[in-house]
Amino acid sequence: MPIQVFNTLTGKKEEFVPLEAGKVKLYACGPTVYDSSHLGHARMAIVWDVIQRYLRFSGLQVTFVRNITDIDDKIINRSKELKIRPDQLARHYLYEFWADMYALNVAPPDIEPRATEYLQQMILMAEDLVKKGKAYEAEGDVYFDVSGCADYGKLGKKNIEDLKSGAREQVRSQNELKEVKRNPVDFALWKSAPETETGWQSPWGFGRPGWHLECSSMIKSVLGETIDIHGGGEDLVFPHHENEKAQSESLHDKPLAKYWLHNSFVNVSEEKMSKSLGNFRTIADLLRDYSADTVRLFILQTHYRNPIDFSPESMQAAKQALMRLVRAALFAETEENGSGFYPSKHYSFDVKAAEKYKGDKTLSEFHNEFVAAMDNDFNTAVAISHLFGLADKISASKNDAERKLWAKALKDYAGVLGFTLADTRKEVDKNSTEQVLSLLLQLRQDARANKDFKTSDLIRNELAKAGINVMDTAEGPTWEKA
Ligand SMILES: [Zn+2]
């Protein structure tokens, strides 16, 4: 059975047929780099990571593009607060985002365009829309004329008349807004800005591009006028994706994307968080207490279109459940363990490579179940239940060769979902290390007090072998890395 995807545009599950046989052009909206990423960003990144991994596993040649919005009012406002340059702020959070993605084992996209690198293309696109009568200039701004776009609102399932009255209300309540739009629903392709701020020269004067235009223009530049899959979080459906679609399609007279896929939210109860396990505001906070595999399992055990309620209890449950997979994976040949941090390794495991498991009845059945789940709109929840099924069979098996083979398969298929199944049970943090060392120093002090110099020397020498120097100071013994 071919891959089925739920298309937001049609509101239906559809058979996935690439525009060009064997190839997939995939674009997912990336972050606006003005603050640290949180669990919701982690979900979005992991969902798209898994979708592109699975398409590759299926034998498709994928070009996965995830952009960086590095110019935006949010960036400018935050940089004013912090009294630093907007590009400096954007770079800071871009580095942090990359560190988060690396730590989460999210594979890098094939192309990662940054908005500030495509200004000329954005200006050109806005100019072309004006020339075509789809957009107009007003006092240094350029607006998209929604009245000229027949199916505006189709993606977001919005009624244009409702939008108009809603927008009018908004304008009335924001008196400072210039009344230059022909229609309150029209949105900016270009906004004028004072020359003292960040901006670029354009045919309409100094200013900045609109957010929606950024994505339309980057998609056109790196992938072309029509792509297979456009994705993002469900909060982007309207207005962001609606507007991207309106601009691109009005200019090119062809669909921007064949399939529109959207992932749901993570609901985080602030109260629950602060009460139980402290504050997991950022991805880095989360990864201090949970491994990347645990975060991934927590996210992927829910289908990407369903919301997830975060709770420390469910995070803890994911941690426990992951151990079932990790323990079963330990039966694989030792050289297979602990490798594979760099995710591209898993791209070599695809349906062709999976042929090697077809001779084994258990694995052949498992393969069919795994593929059926993932083909069904990337149902990771069901696919993961089959990974657990295989893990239980591995643990129950008494046949060494069989166990080895199954464990190897478990690691390969878990890798398709981006799991490393690395055994992290013996990775202890700095706190634990310090406690163990102070215990050893205490034992050495006790031995010395009892004139048991054999034991005190043994502790000092063994620690030295382990790369720890013990020093006696006026304040008592202390240690440092050799
Ligand atoms: Zn976008």
Q: Which residue, of 234, 263, 292, is where some domain finishes?
A: 263
* Strands 200-202 and 205-209, sheet pairing: antiparallel
Ligand 1 centre distance from Cα of residue 364 (Å): 40
Domain tally, the chain: 3
Question: Ligand 1 center to residue 99 CA distance, Å?
Answer: 22
For residues 9 and 97, membership in a common domain is answered with: yes
For residue 386, report the distance from its CA to the centre of ligand 1, in Å: 34
- The answer as to whether 373 is a domain residue is yes
Same domain, 367 and 401: yes
- Final residue of a structural domain among 239, 263, 287: 263
Asked if residue 448 and residue 303 are part of one domain, the reply reads no
Are residues 259 and 280 located together in one domain of the fold? no
Q: Are residues 72 and 195 in the same domain?
A: yes
Query: Which domain range does residue 464 map to?
Result: 430-481
User: How many angstroms separate the alpha carbon of residue 31 from the centre of ligand 1?
Assistant: 9
Pair 162, 288 in one domain: no
Whether residue 216 lies inside any domain: the answer is yes
Confidence of residue 55 (pLDDT cuts 50, 70, 90): very high
Could you tell me the two tokens for 308? 């997830």
Residues 99 and 8 in one domain: yes
In a domain, 461, yes or no: yes
Classify residue 269: in a domain, yes or no: no
Which of 263, 285, 303 corresponds to the end of one domain? 263
Quick one: 382 and 297 in the same domain?
yes
pLDDT of 389 reads 98
What is the chain's Cα-based Rg?
27
pLDDT class of 137 with cuts at 50, 70, 90: very high
Q: Which letter, b or e, does each residue of 86-96 get, where b requires 16 or more Cβ atoms within 10 Å of its Cβ?
A: beebbebbbeb
Domain CATH for 368: 1.10.730.10
- Asked if 247 and 331 sit in the same domain, the reply is no
**Same domain flag for 232 and 127:** yes
Annotate 378-414 with b (16+ C-beta within 10 A) or e (fewer): bbbeebbebbeebbebbeebeeeebbbbbbbbbbbbb
- Centre of ligand 1 from the C-alpha of residue 233, in Å: 10
Pairing mode, if any, of strands 23-28 and 227-233? Answer: parallel
Give pLDDT, residue 25.
98
What whole-number percentage of the chain has pLDDT above 90?
82
pLDDT of residue 337: 42
Candidates 180, 178, 185, 186; CA nearest to 162 is 185
Closest CA relative to residue 239, chosen from 215, 264, 212: 212
Q: Please name which of 268, 250, 248, 271 lies closest in space to residue 260, comparing C-alpha atoms.
A: 248
Residue 208 included in any domain: yes
Cα 462 to averaged position of ligand 1 atoms, centre (Å): 57
68 alpha carbon – ligand 1 mean position (Å)? 9
- What integer pLDDT is reported at residue 171 of this predicted model? 55
Contact 318, 294 (CB under 8 A): yes
Task: For residue 205, list its beta bridge partners.
Answer: 202
Q: How far is the CA of 237 from the centre of ligand 1 (A)?
A: 10
pTM listed for this prediction: 0.91
Give the mean pLDDT of 36-58.
Answer: 95
Ligand 1 centre to CA of 290 (Å) is 30
* 146 belongs to a structural domain: yes
- Residue 421 within any structural domain of the chain: no
pLDDT of residue 424: 82
Average pLDDT, the chain: 92
Q: What is the spatial distance between Cα 281 and Cα 268, in angstroms, rounded to a whole number?
A: 10
- Cα 288 to ligand 1 centroid, rounded to whole Å: 30
Interval between CA 257 and ligand 1 midpoint (Å):
12
195: CATH: 3.40.50.620
3-state secondary structure of 13: strand
Domain co-membership, 237 together with 345? no
Closest to 369 (Cα-Cα) out of 351, 386, 391: 386
Q: Is residue 259 part of a domain?
A: yes
Q: How far is the CA of 401 from the centre of ligand 1 (A)?
A: 49
Ligand 1 centre distance from Cα of residue 213 (Å): 8
411 and 450 housed in the same domain? no
Lowest mean pLDDT among 117-126, 150-159, 295-304: 150-159
Question: Where does residue 152 fall: left (phi above 0), alpha (psi -120 to 50 degrees), or beta otherwise?
Answer: beta
Per-residue pLDDT of 138-187, as tens digits, reads 999 999 999 999 999 999 999 888 887 777 666 555 544 556 899 989 99
